[in-house]
Structure 1
Amino acid sequence: MRKRTLYLLQATTALGGMGYGVMFTVLDDFREKYGITEAQLGIIVGVGFITGFMSQILFAPLADKGHAKKLVMTGIAIEIVGTLFMAFGQAFLPLIIGRLLAGFGVGISEPALRRILILSDPERMGQNLGLIVSASVAGFTAGPIVSALTADTLGIAAPFLLVAVLLVVVGFGLFNLQFQEANIEDAPTQRLAFDMLRIRPLAGAIVIGLALFAMIGTFDAVWSVMMDDMKAPTWVANLGISLFAFPMIFLAPRGGRLTQKVGPFKASMTGLSIGAVCLVMYGTLWSPYPMLAIGIIHGIVDGLTITGGSAAVALVAPRERLASAQGLYGGLQTLTGGIAAVLAGTAYGIIGRATFVWCAVAMLLFIATGAWLAKDSLHITGSDNPIDA
């Protein structure tokens, strides 16, 4: 894969993460300045996950039929429009429309992007997936920094506008590139990918991966509001996000190589189990300051294992339906994240920080169920099941 192509695909993913990171860190501003309730904040966060689910499920199979580049470009265009709605919306309706469009755009482009990465350099699949995760996390981590530098002085719209402008630049850069496309004559005929859930190892990999987005949806909907309610300074809330995410920027590519070597199922289950323990700590610690230390540990573990799910799906899915499998995996993850965000936003208003503990229980149930489904494939590695371009 040409470095320019890899860099632009990384930038696409990074800007998607940055837009989300900006939104995540201004949720308390939406509440205070626009009168958005906690439940509405949970819906705004969650609805992007749900549209991400729909777009990945509906459009990912098209990437296996020779339309990967079109999907990436269309997704970027829709994401730009959604980001502009987030920039100028000052009430619940325009904000939720913006989040709907942004989630839809990311969902259209992501499976196609992953297909390009996996097939362009199969021997470095784990590393390249790690680089994409690293870019996404780097963008998400930069979101609070961009917000801190621009939102207070230039207004809430400023960081969103910056993301939109950068997406336009990246879109122009991708427009003239050629991607490896599937042969339309040999493309699979299935319109959707749900039939692949009959493949037990694939179903197991997906179910295990749902634990990740149950955690993400809960964390994203509750963290900022929880920090505010605990009277933590704004810098503590933003630093907590950065400390959680920062290790993943540097460790995800190395973690991708590690998961491909030791086995993606093992890596994913181990990392998510440790993540569940970290959630329990967020729900029970007495002060926001020790939570920062837990966030560092959590970020390191996730950085080393987060690519396990995508790598597992790539290894057990039919080769001619890689994008469909990645879309099914990502779509069901985002649906789970959306449901978790909505439930967490509502539950937090009732049971407070115990929301994290209940999420940890749900994560362990997902991991156990997925391990049972994929019990005959838990020990596979990248060398056992090489992917042919």
Structure 2
Amino acid sequence: MKETSYWSRNFILILIGNALLFMVYNMQVPVLPLFGKKLGLTPAQIGIFVGAIMFAALLTRLFVPWFSGKFSKKVLLVVGILLYLLASVGYPLLGSFGLLVLLRLFNGLGHGITTTYFATSAAAELPANKIGEGMGYFGIGTMVTASLAPLLALAIVQQFSFTAFFLSCIGILFAAMLAILGTSQPKQPVIHTAKKAAIFDRQFIPQCSLVFILGVLMSGVMTFTPIYAQLKHLTAISWFFFVAAVAGVVIRPIVGRSFDQRGPRLVLLISTVLLTVGMVMIAFIDRNWLLVVAGIFYGVADGAIYPTLQAWVFKVTSVENRDTATGMFLNSYDLGMGLGAVVLGALVEDIQYQGMFLVLAVVGLIYIGLSLGLSRRWLA
């Protein structure tokens, strides 16, 4: 009974709302770089445009303790989705680099709020001994929609227009809003802000360090693989993201159970090796089938590392400190994503796309050793 109690109406609606929001996010992953390229932006400008969302999300999460003390999670999720909507309406209407970055910052405010409170709202529905498995299933909702997102997004752009794409994003965001409006606010004990964890807590340095580097690696793949594949005259980029998402869906329940039983070390070892192999494969892609295979490696790694690190954070923090712990964790990831997009965009202008992906492969090798060292020392 206890083991399945988290499959409540609230948990399901939160899962659906989160999945739909991330569908929009993952639809934008392959399209926004192409949208920026169409507008004439340079690789460095595309990196700033795409990465700006992460910096805004990071700053937003610094106010998580204040938000939690003033508003319910439901209200905060509604506000976050509205900010996402504002950005999606503005993208096709504003064509200058400065205004696009400004809109991306608004998008980032919404991203910071929603990613924090979707995760903590879901975790609040889970029993302590099923955090890994429960968050794994929660992540499956994200991965299922992510598997459809690139195919849908690129098909809309190719068959219709960028405007039609943004209208589709708006419709999906309205559906996410309806899911959240359908949830009920659970009764929670009053938590005094003074007793909450600080914005920075050294307890979470291992997980946050690892997720920061993961963000750098992911930003390189998500931002520049579509353009690199286009330059290589490859047509399977949508299938790259599709198989990556499917691989992530398949691996997450396995990863969740492994974490609950053995902790993070084994999962991190296998997945970081696969991630490094995927980076090398992307650097040398010259065939569509190779791009698809690289997507499998990337998808398994992404589907394993992130939820393992997130479950690890939930495992070592108290229930009342989850909001602030989640904010620190997500800020580390978004800082990696944001800095990665900007720095790697500048790097591309010096060493080209293949050189940039080879640099990421070297970072992946370092990541293997770092993952093993930190998970051994700080094993949950």
TM-score (norm 1): 0.86
Q: Deviations over 1:72-91 (max 9, x none)?
A: 22211111111212243333
Once the two structures are overlaid, the 10-residue window that deviates more, 356-365 or 206-215, is 356-365
Superposition pairs of residues 152-171 of structure 1, within 5 angstroms: 152-171=158-177
For residue 289 of structure 1, what is the aligned residue in structure 2? 289
For residue 345 of structure 2, what is the aligned residue in structure 1? 345
Once the two structures are overlaid, the 10-residue window that deviates more, 323-332 or 159-168, is 159-168
> Cα distance, 1:308 vs. partner?
0.6
Alpha-carbon separation, structure 1, partners of 2:242 and 2:266: 27
For residue 24 of structure 1, what is the aligned residue in structure 2? 29
> Cα distance, 1:112 vs. partner?
1.9
Q: Deviations over 1:204-231 (max 9, x none)?
A: 1211222221111111121011111112
Q: Deviations over 1:13-64 (max 9, x none)?
A: 2233222222222245424532122211111111111112122232266437
Once the two structures are overlaid, the 10-residue window that deviates more, 34-43 or 159-168, is 159-168
Alpha-carbon separation, structure 2, partners of 1:291 and 1:184: 51
Quick one: which amino acid aligns to residue 359 of structure 1? L
> Cα distance, 1:191 vs. partner?
7.9
- Any conservation in 1 of the 2:196–2:324 contact (CA below 8 Å)? no
Alpha-carbon separation, structure 2, partners of 1:66 and 1:22: 30
Q: Closer, same or farther in 2 for the Cα pair 1:166/1:348, shift >3 Å?
A: same
- Any conservation in 2 of the 1:129–1:253 contact (CA below 8 Å)? no
- Any conservation in 1 of the 2:54–2:337 contact (CA below 8 Å)? yes
Quick one: which amino acid aligns to residue 345 of structure 1? G
> Cα distance, 1:370 vs. partner?
5.9
Alpha-carbon separation, structure 1, partners of 2:65 and 2:152: 31
Superposition pairs of residues 320-359 of structure 1, within 5 angstroms: 320-352=320-352, 353-359=354-360
* Structure 1 residue runs without a partner (length 5+): 381-389
Alpha-carbon separation, structure 2, partners of 1:109 and 1:244: 23
For residue 216 of structure 2, what is the aligned residue in structure 1? 214
For residue 190 of structure 2, what is the aligned residue in structure 1? 184
Superposition pairs of residues 267-306 of structure 1, within 5 angstroms: 267-306=267-306
For residue 157 of structure 2, what is the aligned residue in structure 1? 151
- Any conservation in 2 of the 1:66–1:183 contact (CA below 8 Å)? no
Once the two structures are overlaid, the 10-residue window that deviates more, 91-100 or 316-325, is 91-100
Alpha-carbon separation, structure 2, partners of 1:273 and 1:75: 35
Alpha-carbon separation, structure 1, partners of 2:265 and 2:63: 27
For residue 100 of structure 2, what is the aligned residue in structure 1? 95
Aligned CA RMSD, in angstroms, stands at 2.6
Alpha-carbon separation, structure 2, partners of 1:360 and 1:264: 22
Q: Deviations over 1:256-295 (max 9, x none)?
A: 2222222124423431232123212222344453232132
For residue 250 of structure 1, what is the aligned residue in structure 2? 250
- Any conservation in 1 of the 2:272–2:367 contact (CA below 8 Å)? no
Q: Closer, same or farther in 2 for the Cα pair 1:358/1:44, shift >3 Å?
A: same
**SS of residue paired to 1:307:** helix
Once the two structures are overlaid, the 10-residue window that deviates more, 23-32 or 257-266, is 23-32
Number of residue pairs matched by the alignment: 373
Q: Closer, same or farther in 2 for the Cα pair 1:67/1:128, shift >3 Å?
A: same
> Cα distance, 1:126 vs. partner?
1.7
Q: Closer, same or farther in 2 for the Cα pair 1:149/1:359, shift >3 Å?
A: closer
Alpha-carbon separation, structure 2, partners of 1:372 and 1:5: 38
**SS of residue paired to 1:120:** coil
For residue 386 of structure 1, what is the aligned residue in structure 2? none
For residue 3 of structure 2, what is the aligned residue in structure 1? none
**SS of residue paired to 2:62:** helix
Quote the sequence identity (%).
20
Does residue 84 (structure 1) correspond to residue 89 (structure 2)? The answer is yes
- Any conservation in 1 of the 2:33–2:223 contact (CA below 8 Å)? no
Q: Deviations over 1:357-386 (max 9, x none)?
A: 2223334445545654554332x3xxxxxx
> Cα distance, 1:325 vs. partner?
0.6
Alpha-carbon separation, structure 2, partners of 1:188 and 1:27: 41
For residue 238 of structure 1, what is the aligned residue in structure 2? 238
Q: Closer, same or farther in 2 for the Cα pair 1:20/1:177, shift >3 Å?
A: closer
- Any conservation in 2 of the 1:60–1:111 contact (CA below 8 Å)? no
Alpha-carbon separation, structure 1, partners of 2:14 and 2:150: 22
Alpha-carbon separation, structure 2, partners of 1:314 and 1:74: 25
**SS of residue paired to 1:184:** coil
Quick one: which amino acid aligns to residue 119 of structure 1? A
Once the two structures are overlaid, the 10-residue window that deviates more, 300-309 or 239-248, is 300-309
Quick one: which amino acid aligns to residue 115 of structure 2? E
Quick one: which amino acid aligns to residue 258 of structure 1? S
Alpha-carbon separation, structure 2, partners of 1:314 and 1:251: 20
